Amino acid sequence: MDSGVPLWLLADEAYAPRRDKDAFIDRSILSFLSLLSRARARGGKETGKAGTDAFFKIVAVFLLLLLISLSRNRFFIATAGTAVLAVLASQRGEYLAAVLKTSAAVALFTSLILLPSALSGTAVPAFIIVVKVIISVSAVKLVSVSTEWSSVSGALRRLRIPNLFILVFDIALKYVALLGEFALSMLYALRLRSVGRNADKHAALSGIAGTLFLKSKEMAEEMYAAMECRGFSGEYLSSKRLRFGFREAALTAGMLVLVCIFVYLPGT
Amino acid sequence: MIKLTDVSYDYGEGTALSGISLSIARGESVAFIGPNGCGKSTLMKLLNGIVLPQRGNYLFDGDEVNAKTLKDPSFAKRFHQRSGFLFQNSDAQLFCPVVHDEIAFGPRQMGLSEMEVEKRVTDCLELLGIGELRQRVPYHLSGGEKRRVALAAVLALNPEVLVLDEPMSGLDPRMKNFLREIVAALNRSGKTILCSTHDFAYVDGLFKTAVVIGADHRVARVGPWSEIMADEDFLRAQNII
Amino acid sequence: MHIPDNYLSPATCAVLSAAMVPVWALSVKKVKSEIDKANLPLLGIGAAFSFLVMMFNIPLPGGTTGHAVGAVLIAALLGPWAACIAVSVALFIQALLFGDGGILAFGANCFNMAFVMPFLGYFIYKFITDRFKSVKAEQFALVAAAYIALNFAALIAAIEFGLQPLIAKAADGMPLYCPYPLSVSVPAMTIPHLLVAGFVEVFFTVGVFAFIKKVSPGIISMKPEPKIKGVYGLIVGLICLSPLGLLAPGTAWGEWGADEIKNVVTGNAPLGFVPSGMENGFSLNVLFPDYAISGVPEWTGYVLSALAGASILIIVFKLLALPRKHVGERA
């Protein structure tokens, strides 16, 4: 090969970039970064004392959400809120930070949305909705940060959800992180080459999303081949036993108390 | 040209780089070697502004590269034009439907006339020996072809510095030789070459300097390539061979 | 368009979840029968893809950006039944594992985004492409499908919101969930979707589909072609319109409160909207004085406040004790 390096590569580029609106790249990158950091910290790190069994947590949080949503009694809401606060107080600092961030954001957002209504005379109901939202979101967020993702499918199975959904869910979880990393790399590649003004921003983003889909399809085919090779028959076997220890008992007891209070109080 | 002063980076689960200080002059060709997990890839990303160090200083041609300076779009764009990065995973670097567009992407952004853009595309295609791939779909190309298209796309920006992350990985011997020749030619033309690599067999004569990153994520040694390569005891102690 | 919890009454959530059960069941059946188990990985990874699609920030000419739902795109690529499952799973992951909420409202969100949107979109797309075979027709079909389906889904969501004040009222007439009636919720949701989100969806759907078609056309023609007869479209239309049946005749459709329309925000789609620093003081004292009225002894209130106060203190201390988080990766 004769190294005919072209002249323009030999000289430095005297280049002054023009303005362009490409915030979408950065915002997408941010989106994916936070997704991936969440995916990496899958919650429930093994520290010797295992967390509460996922099944209990999921059922408990669902029940809590239902009761809060149904409740028209302010005392009940206060009780539920205090209970959630107490549970939060017993959690690790990292979880608390995540929960606080989300509930603050959601509280702000909800307040803004309800502001017009509040101003036209329904301030108290609007406030109650905001409170309900804060409690609900905090509880859900806590469960989500403190639960090992892999244990969720076991919990779903016990809830008698059809096999196909659980399988799809499992696979999806695994690939959200993988594909997410790939998409992030592509976004970085786009960023690095966005050195000026892009007249067709869509093409780049479509290219990334499109390539992501093709990659997905490719991985799906590989996965299918691997499954075939290992004699996958379509059945999904779950071997984990239901753990029922102190924490689970405490949670169950707590929920029962809450239900009783709910039923007992007037106006519900 | 490039000056790192006591740069450190950790990512929550551990340290990637610790107290890295380097000074690289224009036109040098530097290899970064070290055992797996020592932080070479992170360093490559850092040099291109994809990750930012928690501690330390990065000066690119006298300008500081940090979160603040990169927030200025003009600075960031100019920086990215002057420093080209070849990813280890070429798949992630290609997002256009056709090779021609992939290579034209950068020059078009820079506001060059269509004629100039065409010239650059043609030159890059020829230089990398991929002329016949002009209308092909990048996604469906072979590993070696993708690598060359990615390199062409980066070269089209005419960067002064080329950062290459394991450029030889996944290539067949013929391609490795070819790549070595190209990178050598680019270095001779005045480009500064920074390259992380495991592949010692195919890079003869390519690098003048070697920077060894130890398993402790620090700079273990900096010196002439031939000297370090000859010191087998050292390399063994560093888990490089 | 993602509906959070506590905006819809549990009754509404229950109805919509019940409506989804046969849809899910049918989707499973269709997916299993039409393609063999080679499709399982594809569904899972399709769900992952569907999830990731919602993360992209998409630019519009003029500088605004938005997010796409992608349900029509997925329906065009994988078929509507697979799309239903993929989007449902993606929404589930969002709700539970990322703590985005919308767990009680999961059925409602699936109804809007995993049923109405992909099926309507697919129906429109097929309707046009079955009758006109040119490349332009296909493009137009996709544009129409994406735009109409998204906006219709937004309309359905708006109706779900707007019905709340009618069907869920406290004894004193105060709203319990979404306080905005149809006259507010419909314009508030549909206008931004018609003007902005619809175009975001169109650009994204058309762009990605075109890219895939150009790069790997084989993938698209390989998908199964379920016969969408007109009757399905009718059924879909009827199901979508049924929530309106809850509407009593004679309610104020024409009331357009001008100052309410000014505050145009959508459920959960960030449209570059940055709220200025507004503090919503969560004052415990506001809640507690009421329990005397609800017939519960006063000492319980003291216990609660003590417990709440102590919890808050502990939480604050734990937060303060956290190591400073670093921002290592640059966006």
Q: In this model, does residue B140 exceed pLDDT 80?
A: yes
Q: Is A22 on the interface with C (CB under 8 A)?
A: yes
Which tens digits make up the pLDDT trace of A184-236?
Answer: 999 999 999 988 888 778 888 999 999 999 998 888 888 888 877 777 665 55
Q: Which two tokens stand for residue B78?
A: 């100019």
- Decide if A185 and B87 are in contact by the 8 Å CB cutoff: yes
Instruction: Decide if C331 contacts A29 (C-beta within 8 A).
Output: yes
Considering only alpha carbons, which residue of chain B is nearest residue C326?
A: B54
Kindly give the interhelix angle for C135-167 and C117-131, rounded to the nearest 10 degrees.
Answer: 150
- d(CA B34, nearest CA chain A) in Å: 23
Q: What is the spatial distance between Cα B42 and Cα A131, in angstroms, rounded to a whole number?
A: 44
Higher-pLDDT residue of A174 and C37 is: A174
d(CA B16, CA B218): 9
Class of domain C10-262: mainly alpha
Strands B83-86 and B219-224: unpaired
**Same domain membership, residue A204 and residue A82:** no
Taking alpha carbons only, the member of B216, B240, B2, B199 closest to residue B228 is B240
**How far apart are the C-alpha atoms of A73 and A132, rounded to whole Å?**
11
ipTM of the complex: 0.88
* DSSP secondary structure string for all residues of C64-110: -EE----HHHHHHHH-HHHHHHHHHHHHHIIIIIS----STTHHHHH
Q: What is the pLDDT of residue C192?
A: 87
A32 or B200, which is more confident? Answer: A32
Chain-wide mean pLDDT for chain C? 75
* CA A183/CA A175 separation, integer angstroms: 12
**Any chain B CB within 8 A of the CB of C328?**
yes
| CA of C248 vs chain A CAs: smallest distance (Å) | 22
Q: Which residue has the tokens 């900096």?
A: B222
C99 touches chain B (CB under 8 A): no
**Alpha-carbon distance A247 to nearest alpha carbon in chain B (angstroms):** 28
In a domain, A78, yes or no: yes
Structural domain boundaries of chain B?
2-88+161-237, 94-159
List the subunits that have 3+ CB pairs under 8 angstroms with C: A, B
Domain identity same for A244 and A232? no
Q: Is the confidence at residue C241, as pLDDT, over 60?
A: no
Q: C247 or A176: which carries more pLDDT confidence? A: A176
What letters, b where the CB count within 10 A reaches 16 and e where it falls short, cover B6-31? ebbbbbeeebbbbbbebebeeebbbb
Residue C97 in contact with partner chain A when CB distance is under 8 A: yes
Name which of B10, B97, B140 is nearest C211 (Cβ-Cβ): B97
CATH of the structural domain B2-88+161-237, one choice from 3.40.50.300, 3.40.1390.30, 3.55.50.30, 3.50.30.60: 3.40.50.300
**Is the Cβ pair A75, C290 closer than 8 Å?**
yes
Buried b (16+ CB within 10 A) or exposed e, C52-73: bbbbbbbbbeeebbbbbbbbbb
User: Per the domain annotation, does A15 fall within a domain?
Assistant: no
Least confident of B85-89, C207-211, C288-292: C288-292
Q: Is C327 close to B67, i.e. CB distance below 8 A?
A: yes
The answer to whether the CB of A55 falls within 8 A of the CB of A154 is yes
A249 and A142 in one domain?
yes
Mean pLDDT of B31-56: 89
- More confident call, A222 vs C283: A222
Indicate the burial class of B131 (C-beta count within 10 angstroms; 0-12, 13-18, 19 or more). exposed
| Cα separation, A53 vs A148, whole angstroms | 10
Least CB-CB distance to C103: which of A23, A38, A62?
A: A62
**Tally of helices (H runs) and strands (E runs) in chain A:** 10, 0
What string of DSSP letters covers A55-113? HHHHHHHHHHHHHHHH---HHHHHHHHHHHHHHHHTS-HHHHHHHHHHHHHHHHHHHHH
Q: Residue A38 falls within a domain, yes or no?
A: no
Does C37 touch chain A if contact means CB atoms closer than 8 Å?
yes
Percent of chain C with pLDDT over 90: 25
Residues B191-228: tens digit of each pLDDT: 999 999 887 888 888 899 999 988 888 888 888 988 88
Alpha-carbon distance of B206 to B187, in angstroms, equals: 9
Show the tokens assigned to B142: 């072979």
**Are the C-beta atoms of residues B3 and C321 closer than 8 Å to each other?**
no
Q: Which segments of chain C belong to CATH 1.10.1760.20?
A: 10-262
Virtual CA dihedral for C109, C113, C116, C119, nearest 10 degrees? -150
What does the pLDDT average to over B42-69? 90
Nearest to A211 among B95, B153, B190 (CB): B95
Touching A (3+ Cβ pairs <8 A), the chains are B, C
Decide if A37 touches B, using CB distance below 8 A: yes
Mean pLDDT along residues B49-55: 89
Per-residue DSSP letter, B91: G
Rounded to the nearest angstrom, the minimum Cα separation between C86 and chain B is 24
Three-state DSSP at B39 gives coil
Segment holding C262, helix H or strand E: helix C258-262
Q: What is the pLDDT of residues A4-16, one digit of tens each?
A: 788 888 888 888 8
Query: Which domain range does residue A256 map to?
Result: 53-149+240-268
Pairing of β B161-165 and β B192-196: parallel
Mind giving me the DSSP string for C145-197?
HHHHHHHHHHHHHHHHHHHHHHH-B-TTS-BSS----HHHHHHHHHHHIIIII
Residue A143 lies in a domain: yes
Whole-number Å distance between alpha carbons of A120 and C321? 42
For B19, list phi and psi in degrees, rounded to 5.
Answer: 55, 45
Partner-chain contact C216 B54, CB within 8 Å: no
What are residue B57's DSSP bridge partners? B5
Classify the C-alpha dihedral A72-A75-A78-A80 as positive or negative.
Answer: negative
Assess contact for B186 and A5: CB atoms under 8 A: yes
SS3 A144: helix
Closest CA to C100 of C214, C12, C3: C3
pLDDT on residue C275: 29
Overall domain count for chain A: 2
- CA dist C226 and C267 (Å) reads 33
C1 versus A187: the higher-pLDDT residue is A187
Cα–Cα dist B39/B165, whole Å: 11
Cβ-contact C41, C82 below 8 angstroms: no
| φ and ψ of C229, to 5 deg | -90, 165
Terminal Cα-to-Cα distance of chain B (whole angstroms): 31
Distance CA B200, CA A9 (A): 27
Does A39 or A24 have the greater pLDDT score? Answer: A24
Share of chain A above pLDDT 90, in %: 9
**Residue C211, both tokens:** 């890219």
Q: Do A164 and C216 touch (CB under 8 A)?
A: no
CB atoms within 10 A of CB C246: 13
All chains having 3 or more CB pairs closer than 8 angstroms to chain B = A, C
Task: Give the separation between CA C245 and CA C73, rounded to whole angstroms.
Answer: 31
For the segment C93-143, what is each residue's pLDDT rounded down to a tens digit?
Answer: 988 887 776 889 999 999 999 999 999 999 999 999 888 888 888 899 999
Q: What Å distances lie between residue B223 and B26, B135, B186, B209, B239, CA to CA?
A: 16, 44, 22, 6, 18
| Nearest residue, CB atoms, A207 vs list C211, C301, C331 | C211
Report the DSSP pairing between strands B192-196 and B29-33: parallel
Check CB contact of A202 with chain B, cutoff 8 Å.
no
Residues of A in contact with B47 (CB under 8 A): none
Structure tokens at C273: 């909207």
Least trusted range by pLDDT, from B24-28, C215-219, C268-272: C268-272
Q: Please give the pLDDT value at position C236.
A: 55
A133 shares its domain with A251: yes
Chain C residue numbers touching B50 (CB-CB < 8 A): 329-330
Identify whether residues A118 and A187 lie together within a single domain. no
- How distant, in Å, are the alpha carbons of A98, B61, C20 from that of C106? 22, 54, 10
Residue A16 lies in a domain: no
- Record: contact C96-A24, CB cut-off 8 A: no
Query: DSSP character for A231?
Result: T
The pLDDT, as a whole number, for residue C274 is 28
A17: left (phi over 0), alpha (psi -120 to 50) or beta: beta
pLDDT at residue number B36: 84
Q: Does A102 touch chain C (CB under 8 A)?
A: yes
Can you tell me the mean pLDDT for A232-248? 67
Quick one: pLDDT band at residue C249, thresholds 50, 70, 90? very low
Q: Distance (Å, rounded) from C-alpha C32 to C-alpha A163?
A: 12
pLDDT, mean over chain A = 81
Token digits for A183? Answer: 């998409």
Q: Percent of chain A scored above 70 by pLDDT?
A: 90
Sheet holding B29-33, edge to edge: B83-86, B161-165, B192-196, B29-33, B209-213, B219-224
pTM over 0.95: no
Q: What is the C-alpha separation between A246 and A51, in angstroms, rounded?
A: 11
Contact B93 A189 (CB under 8 A): yes
Let me know whether A136 and A105 are in one domain. yes
**Is the Cβ pair A194, B181 closer than 8 Å?**
no
C232 pLDDT band, cuts 50/70/90, is low
Q: Is residue A34 part of a domain?
A: no
**A224 CB within 8 Å of a chain B CB:** no
Torsions phi, psi for C9 (to 5 deg): -65, 150
Q: Which residues of B touch A5 (CB under 8 A)?
A: 127, 185-186, 188-189
Contact B109 A40 (CB under 8 A): no
Answer yes or no: is pLDDT of C60 > 90.
Answer: no
- Please tell me which residue of chain A has the smallest CA distance to B184: A3
| Most confident range, picked from A45-54, A141-150, A163-172, B51-60 | B51-60
Tokens of B31: 């290899």
Residue matched to tokens 């790192």: B4
